[in-house]
Amino acid sequence: MPVFALPGTLLDGRSLAALLPGREAHTLVLGEAPTFDEELDRLAEHGAGPAVWLGHSLGGIVAMHLALRHPGRVAALLLLAANARGGSEGQEARRAAHAAQWARAQRDGLAALARSKLAPSYGLEDICDDTLLASLAAQAEAVGLRRFEHQLAYARQRPGLRWPRRVLSCPVLALSGELDTLCPPADSDEITRLVEAPGRAVHHMCPGAGHLFPMQKTSWVAGRIDDFLQSQAMHSP
């Protein structure tokens, strides 16, 4: 079965490349369409039938909404550091933060934004890992300003899944980082409660990890994904 990977804001395929050893995954960087719904429709055009969708952060949020808007395209969801909140929740603070990020990106460039603003919010302020910081900067530059502007719009435009409650009909694996302040483990618990069928949703928390645990705890994430796909009998042909 095909697998599609959706990286988070200002991230590309390098952030998820090592999570599916032995399985071919097609990375789709978010931000091609100008609106959230148009982006969902664009993504649904990939592949000829149901697929496994892996998403990190904004990518996981988009994947959940893809399952609601185009259920025939989604066989299972692998959601890393995602949440079911809507873009209108905390809207004033969110709008101010996004405006500041956009202004900084235009003034200083995306690499500087990734190093000075995004890295601390991902919990990297106390981590002296030049390789990781360099990768974040390079990925941000590769995503580019146009896609970044659209990604900020998706974060604002997305509806919530909690009120009114929306139901996910496919199997869901939710992974969270214990120290993640952007999408804490409680958010993944909320997601699993949206899954319709009992026993089709699993949440695992990565100990001592923040928002970027897919890049920092690759072996742990890959193991949880492999176990889940095997339990759901969803091997690629």
The rounded distance, in Å, linking the Cα atoms of 229 and 237 is: 13
The tally of domains found in the chain comes to 1
The CATH number of the domain holding residue 132 is: 3.40.50.1820
Cβ proximity of 42 and 22 under 8 Å: no
Single pTM value for the model: 0.95
- What is the SS3 assignment for 146? helix
C-alpha dist (Å) from residue 85 to 62, 72, 186: 12, 23, 12
Residue 237: the pLDDT is 44
Q: Is 64 helix (H, G, I), strand (E, B) or coil?
A: helix
Q: Give 168's DSSP letter.
A: B
Tell whether the torsion through CA atoms of 100, 150, 123 and 194 is positive or negative.
Answer: positive
Place of tokens 């974060």: 155
What is the mean pLDDT for each group of 10 consecutive residues in the chain (237 residues)? 96 96 94 98 93 98 97 97 91 85 96 91 75 94 98 95 92 97 96 89 96 96 96 60
The reported pLDDT for the residue numbered 3 is 96
| Count of all residues that appear for the chain in the document | 237
pLDDT of residue 128: 62
Domain encompassing residue 6 = 1-237
Residue 95: per-residue pLDDT: 84
